[in-house]
Amino acid sequence: MQIKHILLTMIIGIGSLFAYNSDSKAYRGDLDAKHAYEMMQESSNIIFIDVRTKKEFNDHHAKNAISIPIFMEKNGKRALNPNFVQEVKKATNNQLNQKVILICRSGSRSKYAANLLAQNGFSNVYNILNGTDAPDGWSDSNLPIEK
């Protein structure tokens, strides 16, 4: 069991390296929290997605974010959500050019999710650097949080 967990972690890690390809034309890049918030204030045509687990989301989340986890809690561990891309497509009404801003706790899961969406045809995807809880992130920037 331990070996399977280690191998799975290595596979996900290696996959993440490839997924973080900065040459992707659909992944627009990283935004600091304040810039992301300003973009959302200027346009109501943005889908704001928190990719953390439901448990994390329910604890606290950035105001107006919707929950679509990139990983699911399963037996106390995280497993890739096999329906993630489909759930985002549903949230955007299959508009792959819809502007999507992603957030997580620290910025790493949302960056992984941004690249995954880009690889699946989304053309306007952004990641919030430092997520909700890291220094210079959403909370640290005193942006609205819901509990």
Per-residue pLDDT of the chain (147 residues; tens, 9 = 90+): 555 544 444 444 444 444 444 444 567 889 999 999 999 999 989 999 999 999 999 999 999 999 999 999 888 888 999 999 999 999 999 999 999 999 999 999 999 999 999 999 999 999 999 999 999 999 999 999 998
Q: Is 29 helix (H, G, I), strand (E, B) or coil?
A: strand
Number of structural domains in the chain: 1
Domain limits at 38? 2-146
Q: Within 13 A of 131's CA, how many CA atoms are on the CB side?
A: 21
Distance between CA atoms of residues 19 and 64, nearest Å: 27
Tell me which DSSP letter residue 98 carries.
S
User: Which is nearest to 137 in space by CA: 37, 42, 53?
Assistant: 37
Place of tokens 């949080």: 145
Distance between CA atoms of residues 68 and 20, nearest Å: 20
Return the CATH number at 13.
Answer: 3.40.250.10
